[in-house]
Structure 1
Amino acid sequence: MKACGTDYHRAKALMDEMRTMRLSPNHISWSVLIDIYGAARNVRGAIQAFKTMRDVGLKLDVVAYTTAIKACVNNKNLKIAFSLFEEMKRYQLKPNWVTYNTLLRARSRYGSLHEVQQCLAIYQDMRKAGYSSNDYYLKELIEEWCEGVLNNNNQNESPLNIKYSRDKTDGSKPYSLLLEKVATHLQKDVGDNQAIDIRGLTKVEARIVVLSVLRMIKESYWLGKIIQDDMIIISGVGKYGTGPANREYEVQQAVIHVLQDELGFDVETGHGAVYMNHSPCFPDSSNSHVFQTIEEPKYHKYLARRPQDLGVLKVTKRSLHSWLQKRGSSAVVH
């Protein structure tokens, strides 16, 4: 059957011949047939063979699902591919490395927040299952999607503004750390009013995280979600860390440049505490770059007993709303 290449008619005839000889096609036979249909760009035939396999009493396994998913991905039928993946999980079948990798490479670019969330969820699932992935490939797609915020702001620029994407410091840590932070932010609802902690990130990483949140806000706004509060960025620039050689200071200035010069936001800088639920709360010193959801960000109230400066940057909800209104949305700000 494998020798049939893309001749699914011949492969199907061989399957019928097996039955006449009282040989029962097994999982391998059916998976090969599904793969041949996919290679011949016959997605309908691949899915029909997949369903027939179940109808004849064979229990679908990870190989059959992965082969059907691959057939759909290779023929750009991503809706069915991802639905098969979800069905597979419902039946408690554990995807393998090929399953995950096929889905992560399903898109050459992202068009919507949902697509990014979908792939980031698969990426996280893959890592939890103990499989390694090509973080660089996914990071490039996320970066391109984030840079779309700038492209909308500067219509005369090239399709992908990546002038910061080759930062030499970028290779100093695994991309997976960055992707985990982006994923954590994008899984939240825009109404949750999340603060962004960029401490410990490089200029490139901080840029991507901030742009990813802005893109999420923009797409959610187009769908009618309300801008409820300011956007807060915690840079970690301390009292004695304002010199040009200070790493945190350089990252902070890079983010300010993106927000002010490239996107036209009014950025307020401040020091001191950030409050949550009317009680003082500070970001911890762990490796997490994601701050907690803030109900009432009274960060301009200073606490004299706090020895360090959080390096708080603020983009007001009014500034966000003004930026979003330029794109013709009918949502409102409260």
Structure 2
Amino acid sequence: MKKTHDTEGNIITTNIALKRLAKLGQSQACEGIIIGMLQEGIEPTVVSYTTAIGACAKEGSKNPELANQWLQRMRSRNVMPNFHTYNTALAACLDGKLESTVTGSKIAVEMLAAVNQELRDGLVGSAEYKSALPDTYTKYLARELMKQLRDNWRAGDINMQVAKSTIRVPLLKLVDFTKSDSAEEARKMKEKAAAKKSEDVDDTEDVEKEEEGVVYSSVSSIHRRMEV
């Protein structure tokens, strides 16, 4: 039991260090910390990866390709991105470049696939920690990426019809998610999960919630300023 608590404490402490670096946009330093965690036998959590992606979303240090790479890396270790993770990766793509818009569209496709899987298989654990379902910030980010795409075609970087029929499609699906049948299904699923919440809470989830409180609010603050 002591070893378990030591590991959990190390994860939380490391995630706090990641948070500080992410706020400075130090993506390479965040990468070094996660590599160090793995070398020490500490498995990074979804919070760890989301925080590292947060460094890629920092204004002046945006790195959409690295953000997308983090999504692939965490999946390769069976750590599934949640809506915080996807939102942070989408925010990293808002730098005005066509290639970044394309990356954002790819991330949107992956998020929609994760949503479909969640609706098909159900959600295990805290919705705040595990769910990939889009929230209002997802909608905002998708709209901003659609505006960026419009600027891209107006600048002559891509044909408008091609942009609308390809890159724009998954972004529009995120914007319109709340109007979809999937959104209604998700609402019912959340209500059902909430009813069972008291029965499903365990020590692991308590640790996850502690991580959320320590890190997620700070990760969000890195890029939510774009809303105001």
Q: TM-score, normalised by structure 2?
A: 0.51
Is residue 85 of structure 1 aligned with residue 85 of structure 2? no
Is residue 152 of structure 1 aligned with residue 156 of structure 2? yes
The AA in structure 2 aligned to 1:78 is P
Give the 3 Å change call, closer, same or farther, for CA 114–54 of structure 1 in structure 2: same
Gaps of 5+ in 2: 1-5, 119-131, 169-180, 182-228
Give the 3 Å change call, closer, same or farther, for CA 152–89 of structure 1 in structure 2: same
Alpha-carbon deviation of 1:211?
A: 5.2
User: Which residue of structure 2 aligns with residue 40 of structure 1?
Assistant: 24
Q: Which has the larger radius of gyration?
A: 1
Alpha-carbon deviation of 1:44?
A: 2.6
Q: Structure 2: how far apart are the matches of 1:151 and 1:42?
A: 31
The AA in structure 2 aligned to 1:106 is A
Deviations 1:223-268 (A, max 9, x none): xxxxxxxxxxxxxxxxxxxxxxxxxxxxxxxxxxxxxxxxxxxxxx
Q: Structure 1: how far apart are the matches of 2:140 and 2:24?
A: 31
Alpha-carbon deviation of 1:131?
A: 0.9
From 106, 112, 135, the equivalent of 1:118 is 106
Q: Structure 2: how far apart are the matches of 1:55 and 1:68?
A: 17
Q: Root-mean-square deviation (CA), in Å?
A: 3.2
Larger proportion of helix: 2
Higher relative contact order (CA 8 A, sep 6+): 2
User: Which residue of structure 2 aligns with residue 314 of structure 1?
Assistant: none
User: Which residue of structure 1 aligns with residue 207 of structure 2?
Assistant: none
Alpha-carbon deviation of 1:38?
A: 2.1
Report % sequence identity: 21
Equivalent pairs counted in the alignment come to 141
Give the 3 Å change call, closer, same or farther, for CA 152–131 of structure 1 in structure 2: same
> Does the 8 Å contact 1:34/1:67 carry over to 2?
yes
Alpha-carbon deviation of 1:99?
A: 0.6
Alpha-carbon deviation of 1:29?
A: 0.8
Q: How does 1:1-334 map to 2 (within 5 A)?
A: 26-74=10-58, 75-108=61-94, 109-112=96-99, 114-125=102-113, 127-128=115-116, 129=118, 130-133=132-135, 134-146=138-150, 148-152=152-156, 212-213=164-165
Q: Structure 1: how far apart are the matches of 2:28 and 2:145?
A: 29
4+ aligned runs moved over 6 Å, structure 1: none
Q: TM-score, normalised by structure 1?
A: 0.36
The AA in structure 1 aligned to 2:26 is N
